[in-house]
Amino acid sequence: MKVQEPEEETTDMQMAPMIDIVFQLIIFFMCATTFQKFERELKTNIPVMSQQIVERKMEDVVVRIDREGRIFVGNKQYVPDREWNIPELIAMLSRLKKFFPDQSVIIEADKEVEHQKVVAVLNACAAADISNISFVE
């Protein structure tokens, strides 16, 4: 008895889908290169870096003296020592004067406050070499 051998199937590769993909790739690359060409031709004005030094400006420092004689700059309280010196305030004003030479100070004192407290703040401004001082009520 003779065994029949199965016939070999020939596998053919279909070329039509591969040709479709190749054409789609060609169209894609043609479009992509034309967009790059337009981007290169785009006229833009790029800002030039300035060599000018920008002057920093500081707002006025407001020193408040309340009815009890407490001295505040912002939310920080400064306490004078026995000789009515305020070293922390002098240090803070000196740092500001170093970075902002035209720094100004506004003293906002209560009407009922002792004059010695106002003089202590004026002395702190003088020690920090700040001469631009204003008073407000």
User: How far does CA 128 lie from the centroid of its chain?
Assistant: 29
Q: CA-CA distance, 112 to 66, in Å (whole number)?
A: 9
pTM, full prediction: 0.56
Q: Is residue 35, in this structure, part of any structural domain at all?
A: no
Find the CATH number of the domain harbouring 99.
3.30.420.270
Q: Which helix (H) or strand (E) holds 109?
A: strand 104-109
In a structure prediction context, what are the per-residue pLDDT tens digits for the chain, which is 137 residues long? 677 777 777 777 788 889 999 999 999 988 877 665 555 665 666 666 666 665 656 778 889 998 888 899 888 888 887 777 788 888 999 998 888 888 889 999 988 888 888 888 999 999 999 888 888 87
Name the domain count of the chain: 1
Backbone angles phi, psi at 39, to 5 degrees: -65, -35
Q: At what angle do helices 87-99 and 115-127 cross, to 10 degrees?
A: 40
Interior angle at CA 74, CA 88 and CA 101, nearest 5: 65
Report if residue 75 sits inside a domain: yes
Which of 41, 44, 56 lies closest to 101 in space, CA to CA?
56
Domain region containing 72: 61-136
